[in-house]
Amino acid sequence: MEAEIIGLIIGIAVLTFFTRFGFALILKKTKISEKWNKWMAYIPIAVFTTIIVPSLLAPNEELELSIQNEYLIAGIVALLMAYKTKNLAGTVIIGISIIYILRVFLGF
């Protein structure tokens, strides 16, 4: 089992490195146009939205648009806090606390 897991880890490591290094390698040889740069300026927003939204609306791989979804509740609070305060530590602590309270005391 241990050897198989280590094999899997190395496989994932190689694939992950490839995704990180792929474009760096391609772009080394190519000139980047102004237009391409403007296009790429939207990458951070698109990427982070793609990670966040499904993790709140579908924490278990299926859409859960209900007030029984603790991630959605904590997520909305975190969004409001991030907008108002931009305080990372505070937002993380409040978010985790909300999830903890909902799960442990309210049986979510």
Partner 1 sequence: MKMPKPHKAFVDGLKAVTPLALGVASFAIAYGLLARKAGLSLFSLTLMSLLVFAGAAQFLTISMLISGTPFILILFTTFVVNSRYLLMGASLGSYTRKWGTRWQILLSFLLSDESYALTISCFTKNEPNKYYQLGVSLGLYIEWAIFTVIGGFMWSFSGDPQTWGLDFALPATFIVILVPMITTWKHTTVCLTTAVLSIVGLVFLPTKWYIPFAAVLGTTVGGVLEFWKRK
Site residues for partner 1, window 38-67 (CB under 8 A)? 38-58, 61, 63
Under the binding rule (CB under 8 A), the answer on residue 103 touching partner 1 is yes
Number of residues that bind partner 1 (CB under 8 A): 72
- Is residue 68 close enough to count as binding partner 1 by CB under 8 A? no
User: What tokens does 6 get?
Assistant: 């280590």
User: Rounded distance, CA 78 to CA 84, Å?
Assistant: 10
Tokens of 55: 């993790």
Q: What is the closest distance, in whole angstroms, from the C-beta atom of residue 68 to partner 1 in the complex?
A: 16
Q: Judged by CB under 8 A, does residue 98 bind partner 1? A: yes
Angle at 58 between CA 51 and CA 42, to 5 degrees: 25
Q: Which two tokens stand for residue 58?
A: 């579908």
Chain centroid to CA 27: how far?
25
Compute the least distance from the CB of residue 47 to partner 1, in Å.
5
**Closest to partner 1 by CB, 10 or 68:** 10
- Placement of tokens 């505070």 in the chain: 90
CB of 13 to partner 1, least distance (A): 4
